[in-house]
């Protein structure tokens, strides 16, 4: 798995029209916190029990096939690594993790979006 900063991921997507951008956060995060423009939603895990989605690989396979680059983003870059490892184990050859995620790490006041991440970088995003 390769790792890209949010800016590098944005540029990669602009340069590779066959790439598929997957937001693997929960449905509530995707809908209410917002998501990158163009990102498709396939949760890695979701509430109420936060169990790993047993259909994740199959759902991504339907969207992306095995031959296209897949970029994964989550809140801070942790879940997307686990999701990417699952895709690689299933045979996906070109998997990318977006470092820092959509909201970035917590700052000293336990807030996100202030130190790093897709939104902090000012990259295109929308809210449902």
Supply the DSSP string of the chain, one letter for each residue: -EEE-HHHHHHHHHH-TT-EEEE-S-HHIIIII-EETTPEE--SEETTTTEE-TTHHHHHHHHHTTTS-EEEE-SSSSHHHHHHHHHHHTT-S-EEEETTTTT----TTS-SSSSSSTTTTT--EE--
Residue 42: what are its φ and ψ, rounded to 5°? Answer: -140, 105
Tell whether the model's pLDDT for residue 128 goes beyond 80.
Answer: no
User: What is the arithmetic mean of pLDDT over 83-99?
Assistant: 97
Q: pTM for this one?
A: 0.94
Pick the CATH number of 2-126 from 3.40.250.10, 2.30.110.10, 3.30.1300.10, 2.30.30.90: 3.40.250.10
- Tens digits of residue pLDDT in 22-59: 999 999 999 999 999 999 999 999 988 899 999 999 99
Cross-strand partners of 3: 97
């Amino acid at each position: 798995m390769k790792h890209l900063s949010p800016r590098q991921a944005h540029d990669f997507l602009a340069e590779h029209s066959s790439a598929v951008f997957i937001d693997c956060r929960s449905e509530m995060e995707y809908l209410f916190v917002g998501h990158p423009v163009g990102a498709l939603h396939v949760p890695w895990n979701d509430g109420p029990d936060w169990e790993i989605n047993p259909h994740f690989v199959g759902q991504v396979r339907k969207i992306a096939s095995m031959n296209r680059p897949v970029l994964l983003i989550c809140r801070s870059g942790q879940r997307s690594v686990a999701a990417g490892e699952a895709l690689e184990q299933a045979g996906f050859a070109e998997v990318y993790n977006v470092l820092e995620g959509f909201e970035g790490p917590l700052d000293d006041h336990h807030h996100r979006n202030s130190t790093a991440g897709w939104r902090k970088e000012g990259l295109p995003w929308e809210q449902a």
